[in-house]
Amino acid sequence: MAFINKPHLDLEFTDAAHIANLGVIDRAIRKVILTIISSMAVLPNRFLVKLDAANDYFKTYQHPLGVLRLTVESGANFGEEKEGKHFFKRLIHDVPDCFVKLNLSAEPEWRTATVKNNRHPEWNETHDVLVTDHEQLLEADIKDDDTASDDDIGLGTISVKQLLLAGGRHDLPLAHKGQPTDGKITLHGEFHNFVPDATSFTSGEASGDKILGLVSVLIASVRNLNGRRQDLKPSVRVYWGEGVWRTAIKTDSPGFDIENPGFDQAFKIPILAGMFPGPPVKIVLMDGEDEKGEAEVSLEEVLGAQDLALQRDFDVGNGVIVKAAIWLRGTKIAE
């Protein structure tokens, strides 16, 4: 279960909490709630409801679709006030120092550099983002870089699908506090599908932060743990290079088999230039903060698996088994 995009919250505080309706407090509360929801149940994050205990996580996990190579080209008509809200700025002929913040659902935010003193800035900056659903909304938030606080210039949204159907380039109109403005921003998007082919890893695209592929590590379950049930606190860590990821830590509870816990969690590792083949993937069984065993898998071994997907019961020692899968995906430009 997941929201494709961040939901909108309509909050109204009553009685003694009425003070929270003040703008600053309302925005702060709204931000906290949306951050929690996004971290759990806004794509690419999902809230798992396992209706069948025998469900095969490897078959039901939904992998990312591909990479959107997004270029913020330019903007126009920024900060041209028609009304007197910013009279002082108009009086001193203040020209905005513009930058763009880009968001795609719950993916990490990205921002451009600041172009100073320009109502028609040009950036021509490119960034890759992972796409899980073509209906995900790309949000462009244009700001005026000020010392005290960044002023809002305009906000525009477009779905990945709409951008691609427009031929990959679109002049996105901007709104400010819900009202249309003369401002616009020009975006260009190029979509690359994930495919079971490693050619893109060594394609020579060695510049910038281009995503050349993806390593997905799926941790399904652990079997045959030993120890006092009330003391067991199993989890699984995944290491690749300097990156470290960890599943939830499980504890004993009624109806839960702590000796054979299920995790059903996935970790996505974008492959950039120079990262492949890299070090082996380490799968480490944890009990609390203590390491109890590990297994290593080289990406060359994954390359030799059918469809570049290695699914196996990994023996981490003492008869304990970690059921995990490692997938490799390259990129291919969509036609």
By mean pLDDT, which of 59-73, 102-116, 201-215, 250-264 is the weakest?
201-215
In sequence order, what are the beta bridge partners of 93? Answer: none
Q: In Å, how far are 6, 9, 29, 111, 139 from 104, measured between CA atoms?
A: 9, 18, 21, 12, 6
Helix (H, G, I), strand (E, B) or coil at 91: helix
Give the whole-angstrom CA distance, residue 261 versus residue 322: 10
Domain coordinates in residue numbering, the chain? 66-194, 197-333
In tens, the pLDDT along 289-306 reads 999 999 999 999 999 999
Mean pLDDT value across the chain? 89
In tens, the pLDDT along 214-237 reads 999 999 999 999 999 999 999 999
∠ CA 5-165-153, nearest 5°, is 55
CATH no. for 66-194: 2.60.40.150
Helix (H, G, I), strand (E, B) or coil at 266: strand
Give the model's confidence band at 23: pLDDT under 50 very low, under 70 low, under 90 confident, else very high: low
Per-residue confidence (pLDDT) for residue 291, from 0 to 100: 96
Give the model's confidence band at 19: pLDDT under 50 very low, under 70 low, under 90 confident, else very high: low
**Does residue 12 register a pLDDT over 50?**
yes
Matching CATH topology for 66-194 and 197-333?
yes
Q: What is the DSSP letter of 168?
A: T
pTM beyond cutoff 0.75: yes
| Number of other CB atoms surrounding residue 162 within 10 Å | 16
**Does residue 205 register a pLDDT over 80?**
no
Give the model's confidence band at 201: pLDDT under 50 very low, under 70 low, under 90 confident, else very high: confident
CATH for 197-333, among 2.60.40.150, 2.40.160.50, 3.30.1360.200, 3.40.50.410?
A: 2.60.40.150
Per-residue confidence (pLDDT) for residue 85, from 0 to 100: 45
Give the model's confidence band at 149: pLDDT under 50 very low, under 70 low, under 90 confident, else very high: low
Per-residue confidence (pLDDT) for residue 332, from 0 to 100: 95
Per-residue confidence (pLDDT) for residue 90, from 0 to 100: 47
**Does residue 83 register a pLDDT over 50?**
no
**Does residue 326 register a pLDDT over 60?**
yes
Element (H, E) at 59: helix 57-60
Are the CB atoms for 209 and 244 separated by under 8 Å? no
